[in-house]
Amino acid sequence: MDQLLEQWAATQKHFPMLLSFGVNVTSALTILVIGWIVAKWFRKRLLGSKLSQSRIDPTLRPVISSSVFYIIVAMTIYAFMTKLGVPAHSLLAVFGAAGLAIGLALKDTLSNIASGVMLLVLRPLRVSEFIETPNITGTVIEIGLFATTIKNVEGLYIYVPNGQVWAQRLLNYGRHTERKFIESIGVSYETDLKQAQALLLKVMENADGVQMTPTPPECYVMNFGDSAITLSCRCWLPSDNWLLRASNMRLTLKAALDSAAIEIPFPQRVIHTKDK
């Protein structure tokens, strides 16, 4: 009996401490859960709300949402640990050491983040623009914190590290309202070049969508090849629906040459024989 009373007294003595510890653990877990929910809510709101779409550039939105998400998560973890009783200065020292170790281990990832920042600051590409690199061609869907999402002409999504996008030559087709059509056509050596030039110029001038500025349509004799004389046809067209416009122009030029009986010769070789 005396032993039970001693145990009860010890329990009563430590009860306030246990109660305090339980309250702290519960509070810490509550902070962790609420912080996670708030971080996800902010990320979803910045990505999808009509308000954010009207005020934030679509190119910046994914990066801003990811940055806000990670900042809130880091603050939540810090508050969670301090609530459990971990000293703030010790926690900061651990975070600093962990940050250094992670930075050394993930230097390529940090390079992608830096490249993403450069892409967002200098803006060589934006969301919905059609671009071409030495390895990838497609429409920009998203510029994220680590990678850029591109939808290629086959409708496939390609995730490219930002470092690769930034380091390569980038051709942006989405920045122009007009584009110069250039097509080389070979005609036979029997062709009247002046007549062919006049015909091709007239066809381009009367074609649908051809613009007279910055320069009117042009046709030049470029070189004398092995099997044909090359003419270069050039004119300015609107840049939208480019493949269709260029295809229609080629069809129109070919039809005009066929109507005028101007031959586009196949590669050929002339062989002379000599009797002994």
Q: Label residue 235 exposed, middle or buried (CB < 10 Å: 0-12, 13-18, 19+).
A: buried
103: Cβ contacts below 8 Å, ≥ 6 apart: 110
Q: Over 70: is that where the pLDDT of 107 sits?
A: no
Same domain, 170 and 190: no
Sign for the CA dihedral angle at 108, 110, 116, 121 comes to negative
What is the model's pLDDT at position 41? Answer: 83
Q: Mean pLDDT over all residues of the chain?
A: 81
Banded model confidence at residue 180, pLDDT cuts 50, 70, 90: very high
What is the model's pLDDT at position 36? Answer: 85
What is the model's pLDDT at position 177? Answer: 87
Domain final residue, candidates 72, 105, 138: 105
The closest of 178, 176, 222, 179 to 200, measured between CA atoms, is: 222
Same domain, 133 and 82: no
Sign for the CA dihedral angle at 206, 207, 209, 211 comes to negative
What is the model's pLDDT at position 216? Answer: 95
Domain coverage including residue 230:
176-259
The average pLDDT across 259-267 equals 89
Q: Over 90: is that where the pLDDT of 229 sits?
A: yes
Banded model confidence at residue 211, pLDDT cuts 50, 70, 90: very high
Residue with more model confidence, 262 or 86: 262
Torsion of CA 158, 159, 162, 167, to 10 degrees: -40
Residue 218 is assigned to a structural domain of this protein: yes
Residue with more model confidence, 105 or 204: 204
The average pLDDT across 219-242 equals 93
User: Phi and psi at residue 14, in whole multiples of 5°?
Assistant: -90, -5
Q: Which two tokens stand for residue 44?
A: 């979803």
Residue with more model confidence, 94 or 130: 130
Q: Over 90: is that where the pLDDT of 69 sits?
A: no
Select the highest-mean-pLDDT range: 46-55, 58-67, 108-117. Answer: 108-117
Q: Over 50: is that where the pLDDT of 52 sits?
A: no
Query: In the chain, what is the straight-line distance between the N-terminal and C-terminal CA atoms, in Å?
Result: 137
Residue 222 is assigned to a structural domain of this protein: yes
Same domain, 96 and 31: yes
Same domain, 231 and 207: yes
Q: What is the CATH number of the domain that holds 38?
A: 1.10.287.1260
What is the model's pLDDT at position 272? Answer: 76
What is the model's pLDDT at position 101? Answer: 59
Same domain, 211 and 229: yes
Domain tally for the chain? 3
Q: What is the CATH number of the domain that holds 205?
A: 3.30.70.100
What is the model's pLDDT at position 192? Answer: 93
Residue 184 is assigned to a structural domain of this protein: yes
Alpha carbon distances (Å) from 233 to 43, 205, 227, 228, 242: 52, 11, 19, 15, 16
What is the model's pLDDT at position 222? Answer: 94
Percent of the chain past pLDDT 70, that is, above it, reads 78
Alpha carbon distances (Å) from 58 to 17, 117, 143, 146, 246: 52, 15, 9, 16, 31
Q: Over 80: is that where the pLDDT of 87 sits?
A: no
Residue 181 is assigned to a structural domain of this protein: yes
Residue 139 is assigned to a structural domain of this protein: yes
Same domain, 195 and 249: yes
The average pLDDT across 48-63 equals 59
Same domain, 90 and 20: yes
What is the model's pLDDT at position 48? Answer: 67
Helices (H), the chain: 2-48, 50-55, 61-83, 88-105, 107-122, 162-167, 193-206, 242-259
